[in-house]
């Protein structure tokens, strides 16, 4: 039986790719399109990628300190609760209290940004941090035109064993120790984030990159 305390968490993106007070990264989890960003303090944010004003994607906007600004009319929404707090075109007008971005739970653990569809999921279960061993390095993310269940089955066939964290597997590709985090992004569209103990630039890391491409070809051919 799946542990209900961990089943809602999805490994959406490497933490290092979402910078404090800077970029907005697009993501997916079980068909939900996401806008990933950080406040100036570094707090992770995962929002529905849609401004509640005119439904423009937040990923077209910009981060301004602790606010996310829509690209269309510049309406600004506060980190944490997603409440609209400013309408630059009408600075004297109070922002409507009923306009709020849809916010999801987001935490950093094991070098990944994990997202839960439950908004009040404010802290990660301990197993998330164990998904990637301490000191391991990010290799790459595989984008697969295949369903998540088929990808998990293919990893098992390659000798990978399910780990404690949701969607996490541990094994080896061409002899290189590897952690694989499976993200059910959309129907027939799956991401696999690969981590390894091999240092960047090493022959082992290059071997893993090649093995990952071969794995993708095998899975998509079979799927």
Enumerate domains of the chain plus CATH numbers. 9-125 (2.102.10.10), 131-222 (3.30.310)
Residue 50 · residue 26 · CB < 8 Å: no
Distances (CA, A) of 217 to 1, 159, 214, 222: 31, 17, 5, 9
pLDDT reported for residue 122: 59
The pLDDT tens digits along the chain (223 residues) read: 334 334 489 999 999 999 999 999 999 999 999 999 999 999 999 999 999 998 999 999 999 989 999 999 899 999 999 999 999 888 777 888 889 999 999 999 999 999 998 876 556 788 999 999 999 999 999 999 999 999 999 999 999 999 888 899 999 999 999 999 999 999 999 999 999 999 999 999 999 999 999 999 988 887 5
- Cα–Cα distance, 103 to 114 (Å, whole number): 13
- Cα–Cα distance, 75 to 150 (Å, whole number): 42
Tell me the CB-side half-sphere exposure of residue 194, using CA atoms within 13 A: 27
pLDDT reported for residue 223: 59
Distances (CA, A) of 180 to 3, 5, 69: 19, 21, 34
- Backbone φ and ψ for 95, nearest 5 degrees, come out as -65, 140
Between helices 148-157 and 203-222, what is the axis angle to 10°? 120
* DSSP one-letter code for 61: S
For the chain, where are the E strands, in sequence order? 9-14, 25-29, 32-38, 44-48, 62-64, 67-69, 76-78, 84-86, 103-109, 112-116, 137-144, 161-162, 168-173, 176-186, 189-196
Alpha-carbon Rg for the chain, nearest whole angstrom, is 19
- Cα–Cα distance, 84 to 78 (Å, whole number): 6
């Amino acid at each position: 039986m799946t542990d209900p305390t961990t089943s809602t968490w999805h490994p959406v993106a490497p933490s290092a790719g979402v910078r404090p007070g800077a970029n907005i990264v697009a993501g997916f989890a079980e068909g939900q399109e996401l806008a990933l960003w950080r406040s100036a303090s570094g707090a992770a944010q995962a929002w529905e990628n849609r401004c509640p004003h005119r439904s423009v994607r937040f990923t077209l906007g910009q981060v301004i300190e602790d606010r996310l600004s829509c690209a269309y009319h510049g309406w600004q929404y506060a980190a944490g609760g997603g409440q609209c707090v400013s309408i630059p075109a009408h600075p004297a007008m109070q922002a409507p209290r009923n306009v709020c971005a849809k916010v999801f739970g987001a935490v950093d653990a094991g070098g990944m940004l994990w997202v839960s569809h439950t908004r009040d999921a404010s802290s990660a279960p301990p197993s998330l941090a164990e998904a990637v061993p301490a000191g391991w390095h990010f290799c790459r993310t595989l984008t697969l035109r295949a369903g998540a269940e088929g990808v998990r089955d293919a990893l098992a066939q390659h000798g990978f064993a399910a780990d404690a964290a949701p969607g996490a597997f541990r094994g080896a590709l061409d002899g290189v120790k590897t952690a694989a985090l499976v993200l059910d992004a959309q129907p027939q569209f799956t991401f696999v984030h690969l981590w390894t103990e091999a240092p960047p630039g090493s022959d082992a890391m290059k071997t893993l990159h090649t093995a990952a491409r071969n794995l993708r070809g095998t899975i998509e051919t079979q799927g």
